[in-house]
């Protein structure tokens, strides 16, 4: 009898441990929308980054029409979105109509974005007047950062150069999101060759949990720059054509430590839970 009780106790401890691991509060859930578009879920907070768009420059993956409808309609899994982050105005990151429709259908969601995005929204003055109290402008000087608090969410908006001389005037904002000590960095379209000009918050000293790195940072030859500038525990490659996304992990299979915990989403609406305390 004593042996039976001991066995039950051992089984109970084992089950409890696994439940605690599976449903750990020390986790971040990422849902891939397309290209640089993601939904980030941390402790009941839902944030969409660069996920409200329709076009991909005939090069990058885009949300299908069903997903687009869900995104703007406040429907599961995109119901009760708390915050929308837009990095810049390019069509593979931002669609004016989708962002405003999403905000109209979700009266509690806020938008954080650079001034050029606001100017685009303001082209429809009547809609802008309805939404303007929920729009948070963040346009720090180039190569600097701005600290913003939105409810219990702490955000550093980091303005860095977009690759290509023709895009010198683009207000390109990378976002570092922190919720209850869990951190996600979204690189937007940062040009890695210009990070030495940056004088904002020192990202590599902040113990970033997840770094979403664009196609330039994700190149094998730029892995050192990703570590130097971001230094995230997990590295998610983004802004890749579908064929390149599938091949990305293979590009350094013989040197698996080149990126810390590398991952790439290859299917739209794919979801992954990243455990912050267990390394799973």
Q: What single string gives the DSSP state of each residue in 130-148?
A: HHGGGEEE--PPTT-EEEE
d(CA 9, CA 175): 46
Q: What is the pLDDT of residue 241?
A: 93
In a domain, 7, yes or no: no
| Residue at 12 is within a domain | no
> 278: number of CA atoms within 13 Å, CB side?
15
Tell me if 278 is assigned to some domain.
no
Give the Cα separation of 222 and 61 in Å (integer).
23
> pLDDT tens string for the chain (280 positions)?
443 333 333 333 333 333 333 335 799 999 999 999 999 999 999 999 999 999 998 899 999 999 999 999 999 999 999 999 999 999 999 999 999 999 999 999 999 999 999 999 999 999 999 999 999 999 999 999 999 999 999 999 999 999 999 999 999 999 999 999 999 999 999 999 999 999 999 999 999 999 999 999 999 999 999 999 999 999 999 999 999 999 999 999 888 899 999 999 999 999 999 998 744 4
The two structure tokens encoding residue 184 = 């996600």
Cα–Cα–Cα angle for 199, 113, 73, nearest 5°?
A: 150
Q: Tell me, what's the pLDDT at 25?
A: 74
11 within domain boundaries: no
CA dihedral 77, 83, 89, 95 (to 10 degrees): 40
Neighbours of 102 (CB within 10 A): 22
The CATH number of residue 103's host domain is: 3.60.15.10
**Is residue 279, in this structure, part of any structural domain at all?**
no
Domains of the chain: total? 1
> Which pLDDT score, from 0 to 100, does residue 89 have?
98
Range of the domain at 152: 27-273
Residue 280 in domain: no
Whether residue 16 is contained in a domain is answered as no
What pLDDT, on the 0 to 100 scale, is given for residue 253? Answer: 87
């Amino acid at each position: 009898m004593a042996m039976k009780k001991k066995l039950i106790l051992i089984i109970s401890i084992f089950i409890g441990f696994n439940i605690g691991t599976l449903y750990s509060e020390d986790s971040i859930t990422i849902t891939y929308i397309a290209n640089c578009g993601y939904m980030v879920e941390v402790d009941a907070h839902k944030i969409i980054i660069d996920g409200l768009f329709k076009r991909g420059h005939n090069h990058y993956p885009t949300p299908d029409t069903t997903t687009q409808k869900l995104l703007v309609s406040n429907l599961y899994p995109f119901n009760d979105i708390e915050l929308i982050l837009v990095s810049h105005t390019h069509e593979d990151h931002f669609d004016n109509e989708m962002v405003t429709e999403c905000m109209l259908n979700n009266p509690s969601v806020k938008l954080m974005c650079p001034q050029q995005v606001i100017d685009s929204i303001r082209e429809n003055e009547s809609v802008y007047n309805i939404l303007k109290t929920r729009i948070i402008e963040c346009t720090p000087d180039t190569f600097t950062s701005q600290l913003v608090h939105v409810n219990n969410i702490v955000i550093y908006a980091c303005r860095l150069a977009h690759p290509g001389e023709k895009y010198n005037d683009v207000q390109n904002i990378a976002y570092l999101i922190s919720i209850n000590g869990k951190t996600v960095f979204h690189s937007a379209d940062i040009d890695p060759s210009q990070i030495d000009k940056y004088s904002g918050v020192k990202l590599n000293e902040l113990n970033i949990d997840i770094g979403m790195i664009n196609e330039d940072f994700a190149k094998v030859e730029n892995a050192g720059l990703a570590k130097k500038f971001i230094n995230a525990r997990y590295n998610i490659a983004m802004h890749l054509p579908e064929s390149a996304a599938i091949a990305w992990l293979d590009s350094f299979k013989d040197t698996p430590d080149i990126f810390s915990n590398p991952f790439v989403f290859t299917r739209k609406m794919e979801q992954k839970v990243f455990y912050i305390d267990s390394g799973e």
